[in-house]
Structure formats: structure tokens, C-alpha cells
């Protein structure tokens, strides 16, 4: 296929063919990770800047390893000790770094849409490494890659996404991706964690909406699904920031905020009781179910330690696949004549 996009900002705008193209390319890059010398000279002489305006371990290291294993030069930017603290605007910072002649930018930010804004203003490819509660496209791609590798296909699979769907960019990207690939997605969460956008997901994009089922009971769903994906409770996004409070236009959201902190999430113990992935619950599931988590795991809350370390868990394989998928994305965006 002839890749046309400059950036990778979200799964929402990708076609099914584009998703398949990235997943197919990832197979070859995974093979490189098994070699004694895990490095190819493909992006020699290219410079990639990782802009991480929000804490990250897995994603930042995964991107950096993907870049290094393609022989690109990497520069890591973080807000601490930078001119952001001298009141320089984000855009000015980015334009200045671009003026030093870079070849791509990887961006993570707590504000939804920041990578999109930068993509419009920068001439180099921008890769979204997570923007607020909006999208995390490479995570969804690695999730789909892992599911496809384990199950052979994504089409017609039943996938449960359990937990803090409302504030999870991973969930949103996964819902877009999995429904485009023909899976049936069960969104399982307490009512406070069901995002308002689910009901509004445009029915025009045929697959979405049709293949999404919402449930407030994990016990009802667990028997049916092939894949169960637990999400981390995004406590850092539960407290409304001053900015969010101003822009809170959604009525239900305002109501929830007025109820004060904690209204999303009563207690870890109560959450585990109803939505935790436990061995007891897994006994009711299909024998070949796989359990996923984007990390970092709160052991004993969204998932019990025995489950995370069990034969059902593919969590560490997700991490390995993340490097392969990010190599594929960089290769596709930076390679070839555009």
C-alpha cells in the first residue's frame, strides 16, 4: 500500500487497510528483536525528538528503543529544566527544536489535541504518544498486534475493556481500532466510568456504535469474551484541573464534578470486588481467554497479582510487541519518498 499520512495522531482517522499495513510490517520488526544484534541501519542519520510533557516509563523507553534499533539518533525532551519553565509556549519550544533540523517528533501531553496542533505547525512527522484522555494510537496498535498474534485474527472476537474507560486514551484508541478490525467490544465499567462519547460515537463510521456493548457487570460478560483488557484507574485525571473546570460544558460531567472528588471511584476494595480481574472470575471464562493490561498495573485493584502472572496473561508480550509496532510506525512514517 502507498502510505500517504505525514503523522500518526489517532486510530480514529485510520482506515482498516492502514491498520493492517502497520500490523503486517510489525511482524518483520518483531523478528529483529529476536536477533543477537537487535539493530538495523534503516534510519541512520535521522534525528527523532521525544517530547514527553507527561510522566512515562514504558512508552518513552519503548519509543527510544524502537528509534535506536532503527539506528536513528534520539533526543529526549522533558519539561523539567526546560524553557517551558521560563514561560515559553509549547509551540515556540517545538518550532525552535524543529529549526535544529529534526526528522520526526514523538509527543506525549496531558492535553488532548496537543500532538494534532503540533502536527499542523511542524513539517516533520508527529507521532502521538498519548494526548490526555483522547488517544494513544501506538498502544492500540500493539494491543491489536498482540491479539492477532495470539488469536490469529481480530475479526469476530469478543473483547472486554474493563475499568476506567472514561479517562483512558488507551480504551478510546482500542475501541476505534478493534471495531474497525471487526471485533465486538464490550465496555465494562461502573456507570461513572462509562464515557459519554460512547453513545455519541458517530454511527456514520458504520462499525463503531454497532459493535460496542456497554455493561456494568463483569460477571455477566466474562463467560462470553475471548480477550479481557483491564485498564489502570486514571486517578491523576479524576481531579478536575482548573483548565478542565472552565471548559466543562458537558452537563453530566459538571454534575459529577460538583459531587466532588471520589465520585468516580468509591474505593479500591469495592472496585476490585466488582471489576477486579481475579482468578475466581477467570474460572468462569473461556479456557483460552487472554488477559491484557496497558500498564502500569495496580496489582490487587484492577487485576490480582496471580492473574497478572498467570498463563492467561500476555502483558509482558504486549510490552515486547510495543517496540516492534513502534519500529514499524517510524519506518512507515520516515521511510520512502513522500
Partner 1 sequence: MVAKILMEEKELVKSWKEVAKQITVDYPSLSNLAIVGIRCRGDILAERLVKEIKKISGFAVPLGFLDINLYRDDFTSIGPEPLVRETKIDFDITGKNVILVDDVLFTGRTIRAALDALIDFGRPASIRLAVLIDRDGRELPIQPDYSVKKMAVGSGEIVEVKLKELDGKEGIMIVKSR
Q: Is 15 near partner 1 (CB under 8 A)?
A: no
Q: Is 337 near partner 1 (CB under 8 A)?
A: yes
Q: Is 261 near partner 1 (CB under 8 A)?
A: no
Q: How far is the CB of 230 from partner 1 (least distance, A)?
A: 31
Q: Is 97 near partner 1 (CB under 8 A)?
A: no
Q: Is 37 near partner 1 (CB under 8 A)?
A: yes
Q: Is 13 near partner 1 (CB under 8 A)?
A: no
Q: Is 31 near partner 1 (CB under 8 A)?
A: yes
Q: How far is the CB of 9 from partner 1 (least distance, A)?
A: 19
Q: Is 28 near partner 1 (CB under 8 A)?
A: yes
Among the listed residues 8, 14, 22, 25, the single contact to partner 1 using CB under 8 A:
25
Among the listed residues 17, 41, 85, 101, the single contact to partner 1 using CB under 8 A:
41
Q: How far is the CB of 4 from partner 1 (least distance, A)?
A: 9
Q: Is 2 near partner 1 (CB under 8 A)?
A: yes
Question: Which string of x and - marks every residue 47-86 that binds partner 1 (by CB under 8 A)?
Answer: -----------------------x----------------
- The footprint of partner 1 on residues 268-297 (CB under 8 A) is none
Q: Is 243 near partner 1 (CB under 8 A)?
A: no
Q: How far is the CB of 42 from partner 1 (least distance, A)?
A: 4
Q: Is 336 near partner 1 (CB under 8 A)?
A: yes
- Phi first, then psi, for residue 283 (nearest 5°) are -60, -25
Q: What does the binding site for partner 1 look like in residue numbers (CB under 8 A)?
A: 2-3, 24-25, 27-29, 31-32, 35-37, 39-42, 70, 331-332, 335-337
Amino acid at each position: 500500500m502507498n502510505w500517504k499520512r505525514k503523522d500518526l495522531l489517532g486510530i480514529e482517522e485510520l482506515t482498516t487497510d492502514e491498520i493492517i499495513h502497520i500490523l503486517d510490517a510489525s511482524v518483520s520488526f518483531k523478528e529483529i528483536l529476536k536477533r543477537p544484534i537487535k539493530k538495523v541501519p534503516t534510519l541512520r542519520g535521522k534525528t527523532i525528538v521525544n517530547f514527553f510533557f507527561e510522566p512515562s516509563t514504558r512508552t518513552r523507553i519503548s519509543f527510544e528503543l524502537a528509534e535506536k534499533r532503527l539506528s536513528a539518533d534520539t533526543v529526549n525532551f522533558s519539561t523539567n529544566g526546560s524553557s517551558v519553565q521560563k514561560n515559553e509556549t509549547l509551540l515556540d519550544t517545538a518550532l525552535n527544536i524543529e529549526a535544529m533540523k529534526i526528522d520526526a517528533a514523538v509527543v506525549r501531553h496531558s492535553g488532548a489535541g496537543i500532538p494534532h496542533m503540533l502536527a499542523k505547525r511542524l513539517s516533520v512527522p508527529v507521532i502521538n504518544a498519548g494526548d490526555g484522555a483522547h488517544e494513544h494510537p501506538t498502544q492500540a496498535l500493539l494491543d491489536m498486534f498482540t491479539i492477532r498474534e495470539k488469536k490469529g485474527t481480530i475479526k469476530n472476537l469478543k473483547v472486554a475493556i474493563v475499568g476506567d474507560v472514561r479517562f483512558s486514551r488507551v480504551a478510546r484508541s482500542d475501541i476505534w481500532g478493534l471495531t474497525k478490525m471487526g471485533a465486538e467490544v464490550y465496555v465494562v465499567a461502573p456507570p461513572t466510568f462509562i464515557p459519554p462519547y460512547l453513545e455519541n460515537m458517530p454511527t456514520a463510521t458504520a462499525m463503531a456504535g454497532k459493535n460496542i456493548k456497554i455493561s456494568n457487570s463483569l460477571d455477566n460478560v466474562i463467560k462470553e469474551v475471548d480477550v479481557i483488557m483491564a485498564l489502570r484507574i486514571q486517578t491523576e485525571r479524576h481531579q478536575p484541573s482548573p483548565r478542565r473546570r472552565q471548559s466543562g460544558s458537558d452537563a453530566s460531567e459538571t454534575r459529577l464534578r460538583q459531587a466532588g472528588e471520589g465520585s468516580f471511584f468509591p474505593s479500591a476494595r469495592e472496585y476490585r470486588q466488582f471489576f477486579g480481574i481475579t482468578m475466581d472470575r477467570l474460572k468462569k471464562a473461556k479456557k483460552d481467554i487472554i488477559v491484557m493490561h496497558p500498564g502500569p498495573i495496580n496489582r490487587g485493584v484492577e487485576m490480582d497479582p496471580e492473574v497478572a502472572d498467570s498463563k492467561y496473561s500476555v502483558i509482558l508480550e504486549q510490552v515486547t510487541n510495543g517496540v516492534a509496532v513502534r519500529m514499524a510506525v517510524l519506518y512507515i512514517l520516515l521511510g520512502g519518498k513522500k
